[in-house]
Amino acid sequence: MNDFEKMVEAYESSGGQPEAFKDSDVAHLVVAENRVLGAHLVPGLNMDVEETEKGIRALLVVEEGAKIKKPVHLCFGVLPEEGIQRIEMRVEVKDGGSVSVTAHCVFPNAVKVKHLMDAEIVVGNNARYEYRETHFHGNFGGVEVIPRAKIVLGENSALKSFFGLPKGRAGVVDIDYDAEVGANSVMELLARVNGYGNDRIKIREAGCLKGDGSRGLLESKIALKDEARAEVFNEIVALGAKAWGHVDCTEIIRDRAFAKAVPVVDVRHPEARVTHEAAIGGVNKTQLETLMARGLSEEEATEMIVQGLLQG
Amino acid sequence: MNLLEVRNLTLKKGENEILKKVNLILEPGEVHAVIGPNGAGKSSLAYTIMGLEGYSPKEGKIFFEGEDITNLPINERAKRGLTLAWQEPARFEGITVEQYLKISTNGSKQYSSSGIELPRLTPEEALLKVALNPEKYLKRKVDKGLSGGERKRVELASILLMRPKAVILDEPDSGIDTVAIEKIFEIIEEFKRLGIGVLLITHSHKMLEAADCATLLCSGFVVKTGSPEEAAEYYNVRCLPCPSEVYPQEEEKI
């Protein structure tokens, strides 16, 4: 089995759809450590990828007015127990362009692995960008994932970003995203992370609703047990008239885990509105007892509630 | 042997006795209503029978098909065929109606008296029985996107799928519109037809029409046990308004 096949196998075991790599209508990029193993383009999407001394540099451009029909599939990973993956990525969705990206980041054997992502995402006017990233880190907790993103969203556009780590250990996750949202555009940054053992999770997301009528949602849902720790710092600043934003953080903690949420709302226009809510606590008693009254054990009921939170 | 028997059940919360030597019997296919004013202990009785956290009786026993289940955890009671529908059903983030209903389809098989395996409903059929369109509801989340009444009907659908031997319905009509209340009556009738015993906690005289017998609770005491009409009449004449601040001290059988 060659490296590409090994990556595709890991991708599949983390929930990916390997047939996407055989579909000529589906663009893809497969990167193992700092090596490009495969890439495929479709009309309307340009990709420039190079291996550098530091890692991988990638430029993805959706041409003006181009609607990419099928989601672009990205697969990043480190299969050995140790390694560093460093990716610099710039995404440009030109005016009127539209694309969905499904990314899987797989580190199934990680004992000492670092995954560093520096992203710039520029979405033009009347454009749409949807990015869904699912992680699988194995059960050793030996992964450090440090994604950074600067996002600029034009007018009448939409961006939705989802970071999911629903199963396995998190290791160290340190997310730091900044976004600027133009007039009448919508930004959603969603994170779902499961942590246990001595995992450490830190999420900082900041959205600036600059344009009139801009909207933003920062939503983090985290489940922790054992000695895991999580800190969430989510902030929305509303500058534009009729800007609307919401910051939401829900965390379930068990055992000796602990969680902290610091929602910040900063409104600088009298016609703007930003709300926040944060709920941290154990598994909801009524939920638990309802499922147990249908015959599930306490462990089964807890798992269903936690997975529901992380899938929601 | 009774399906469910509550014998001298006493529940204490802090310094307060919430239930005081309560006795109650439920038979297969019987609808036994528990009525009484706010704070009478109706929901506490339901939670104690189901074994919820914080509702361990100080004294007394709960028997299910002759077995003492007083100290069993909730799921063990459920496995024996006892379940509860909450007055205010829980919301579940990220769990679809379909996923929620499917957890109730794993129960043990049931057989008629002639030994024929009784067919189970599908989630779609169960939703139709509570007047919810499966096409619209199966993929919806059981979260704040559903109204309280919708969640209540989804919960009843899950109980239809589970097909327990006994179900405690805590205020099944609260938050339900008048059209859907007729469906609740139909479901209770279906429970009876299937031989499922129903302990019906209610404020509503309308719901009493579905009952075969009734127990009137007041301040944790059983005041009356008898026909629904007798219990309702006693409640109307003697309890509304309450004749005194002195609560009854002993169970009185009609």
User: What are the pLDDT digits (tens) for B133-152?
Assistant: 999 999 999 998 998 889 99
The confidence score (pLDDT) of residue A284 equals 94
* Structure confidence at residue B107 as a pLDDT band (50, 70, 90): low
- The shortest C-alpha distance from A203 to chain B (Å) reads 21
* Mutation target among A194, A219, A284, A290 for the B interface, most CBs of B within 10 A: A290
Residue B86 with chain A: CB contacts under 8 Å:
286, 290
Shared-domain flag, residues A301 and A278: no
Contact of A161 with A167, CB cutoff 8 Å: no
First to last CA, chain A: 36
Q: Is the dihedral of CA B146, B148, A164, A205 positive or negative?
A: positive
Residue A41, pLDDT above cutoff 90: yes
Residue A309 with chain B: CB contacts under 8 Å:
93-94
Shared-domain flag, residues A184 and A289: no
Name the residue in chain B with its Cα closest to that of A192. B94
- Binding-site residues on chain B for chain A (CB distance < 8 A): 50, 52-53, 73-75, 77-79, 83-84, 86, 88-95, 99, 103-104, 106-107, 141, 143, 155, 158, 162
Residue B61, pLDDT above cutoff 90: yes
* Both tokens assigned to A216: 């933003």
Identify the DSSP state of A113.
E
Shared-domain flag, residues A220 and A250: yes
Element (H, E) at A13: helix A3-13
* Structure confidence at residue B110 as a pLDDT band (50, 70, 90): low
Identify the DSSP state of A63.
P
| Percentage of chain A lying above the pLDDT 90 cut | 87
Residue B60, pLDDT above cutoff 80: yes
Mean pLDDT value across chain A: 94
Shared-domain flag, residues A142 and A290: no
The answer to whether the CB atoms of A292 and B83 lie below 8 A apart is: no
The answer to whether the CB atoms of B75 and A310 lie below 8 A apart is: no
Shared-domain flag, residues A73 and A83: yes
Q: Give the mean pLDDT of B41-53.
A: 96
Residue B14, sorted as left (phi over 0), alpha (psi -120 to 50) or beta, turns out to be: left
**What is the CATH architecture of B4-239?**
3-Layer(aba) Sandwich (3.40)
Contact of A249 with A281, CB cutoff 8 Å: no
Shared-domain flag, residues A255 and A243: yes
- The shortest C-alpha distance from A39 to chain B (Å) reads 34
A281 touching B (Cβ < 8 Å): no
The answer to whether the CB atoms of B89 and A309 lie below 8 A apart is: no
The answer to whether the CB atoms of A295 and B162 lie below 8 A apart is: yes
Write the pLDDT tens digit of every residue in A237-246.
999 999 999 9
Euclidean distance between CA atoms A216 and A80, whole angstroms: 39
Q: Total structural domains in chain A?
A: 2
* Mutation target among B72, B74, B167 for the A interface, most CBs of A within 10 A: B74
Listing DSSP states for chain B in one string gives --SEEEEEEEEEETTEEEEEEEEEEE-TT-EEEEE-STTSSHHHHHHHHHT-TT---SEEEEEETTEE-TT--HHHHHHHTEEEE-SSPPP-TT-BHHHHHHGGG-SPP-B-TTSPBPPPPPHHHHHHHTT--HHHHTTSBSSTTS-HHHHHHHHHHHHHHH--SEEEEESTTTT--HHHHHHHHHHHHHHHHTT-EEEEE-S-HHHHTT-SEEEEEETTEEEEEE-HHHHHHHIIIIISS-S-SPPP-S----
Shared-domain flag, residues A180 and A289: no
Shared-domain flag, residues A190 and A304: no
Structure-model confidence comparison of residues A305 and B15, the more confident one? A305
Q: Give the mean pLDDT of B173-202.
A: 88
Name the residue in chain A with its Cα closest to that of B73. A292
The answer to whether the CB atoms of B158 and A250 lie below 8 A apart is: no
The answer to whether the CB atoms of B93 and A296 lie below 8 A apart is: no
Q: How many CB pairs under 8 A join A and B?
A: 70
Residue B209 exposed, middle or buried by CB count within 10 Å (0-12, 13-18, 19+): middle
Shared-domain flag, residues A200 and A297: no
Write the pLDDT tens digit of every residue in B203-252.
888 889 999 999 999 889 999 899 999 888 888 887 766 655 545 544 44
Contact of B77 with B61, CB cutoff 8 Å: no
SS3 A15: coil
The confidence score (pLDDT) of residue A85 equals 96
Euclidean distance between CA atoms A101 and A89, whole angstroms: 13
Shared-domain flag, residues A236 and A153: yes
Euclidean distance between CA atoms B45 and B47, whole angstroms: 6
Write the pLDDT tens digit of every residue in A86-128.
999 999 999 999 999 999 999 988 899 999 999 999 999 999 9
* Mutation target among A162, A292, A294 for the B interface, most CBs of B within 10 A: A294
The confidence score (pLDDT) of residue B254 equals 42
The answer to whether the CB atoms of A284 and B90 lie below 8 A apart is: yes
The answer to whether the CB atoms of B141 and A296 lie below 8 A apart is: no
The confidence score (pLDDT) of residue B109 equals 61
Residue B56 with chain A: CB contacts under 8 Å:
none
Which amino acid is located at B177 in the chain?
A: D
Could you tell me the residue range of the domain that residue A131 belongs to? 3-284
Mean pLDDT value across chain B: 88
Residue A144, pLDDT above cutoff 60: yes
Which amino acid is located at B168 in the chain?
A: I
Torsion of CA B50, B51, B54, B57, to 10 degrees: 100
Shared-domain flag, residues A157 and A274: yes
Residue A146, pLDDT above cutoff 50: yes
Distances (CA, A) of B98 to A263, B86, B94, B154, B191: 33, 19, 11, 10, 22
Select the residue of B53, B77, B90 nearest A287 (Cβ to Cβ). B90
Shared-domain flag, residues A136 and A256: yes
Tell me if the pTM is above 0.80. yes
Structure-model confidence comparison of residues B173 and A90, the more confident one? A90
* Both tokens assigned to B50: 């189901």
A280 touching B (Cβ < 8 Å): no
Identify the DSSP state of A166.
-
